[in-house]
Structure 1
């Protein structure tokens, strides 16, 4: 595939991931403020709202599950790079590509596959909170189990494209 095509694919996916990540950053602030409000109401005024507490759990799920692709894009994920940091650009590109092909993408596909029936069952009954006064959107929260592997898979494709481009640059290929 020509380098310009790989670059366009990576840039398109990165734009989507970046916009999603920037929105999630703001959701993190909302989650912190909401948590402060819950604590203030509970311990300052002895008032509690189950729906408000559950909304923090939902926000937490969104931040973690949808933020994973953004962390991958920003190279903010955990990497044990005892050897990697000493590798050449070509070796790093090869390790990244192989890791994406043989680890990240298959795990994303597997996770999506094993979660699909669980999420669809929740959607079929429009699952609600079992708590009185809880949120009636459990099925939406469970959908994050499908969005995590989907967004990670897409970002993995972007990272694979960038690894191939990096490998081409390191080897002097002009694809």
Structure 2
């Protein structure tokens, strides 16, 4: 089972290697927007929306990696002072009872909207924008799946005999 967890980790690690370049692209595009608008008096709704698309892609697809490297936000006031065994139990409970069911629910309830968006090839958010809202909505199930896979990898490790927090 450890090999399965390693494979699941590898998915998010590999994806993160490519996604980090989206942050660079986002800064460069935003800089070009500012220079274009204030220096040359040129503006493009589609280019402005591209920053939104880059940000959404980066945020949604990197969530699994954030969980992998344990840099997500913890809202557990007892976790910091807990013993390793208690931390392990908190983590198991959090993944099995809170995270996995909530991701499954989000995936289930968002799927009709994503499917419909693809069916009609949903157009731009704003007039003159990028005609690919259906692609941005596809990030929702991708987010859910990547977080579910990472959560399963963490659970596999937590449930092994002798596992620590």
**TM-score bracket for this pair, using the shorter chain length:** over 0.9
Offset, 1:83: 2.2
Residue 67 of structure 2 corresponds to 72
User: Per-residue displacement from partner, 1:31-84 (whole Å, max 9, x unpaired)?
Assistant: 011111111101111101111111111011011111111111110001135422
Offset, 1:87: 2.4
Name the stretch that deviates more: 91-100 or 70-79: 91-100
Give 1 or 2: higher helix fraction. 1
CA contact (8 A) 2:121 2:132 kept: yes
Q: 2:148 aligns with which of 153, 169, 175?
A: 153
RMSD (CA atoms): 1.5
TM-score normalised by length of structure 1: 0.88
Q: Is the aligned partner of 1:163 residue 2:155?
A: no
Offset, 1:156: 0.7
Following TM superposition, the consecutive aligned residue runs of length 4 or more in structure 1 with deviations greater than 3 angstroms are none
User: Per-residue displacement from partner, 1:100-138 (whole Å, max 9, x unpaired)?
Assistant: 000000000000011000011110011111533321111
* Consecutive unaligned residues in structure 2, runs of 5 or more: none
Counting matched residue pairs gives 164
Offset, 1:27: 0.6
What is the alpha-carbon distance in structure 2 between the residues aligned to residue 132 and residue 86 of structure 1? Answer: 52
CA contact (8 A) 1:35 1:56 kept: yes
Q: 1:91 aligns with which of 48, 69, 86?
A: 86
Residue 32 of structure 2 corresponds to 37
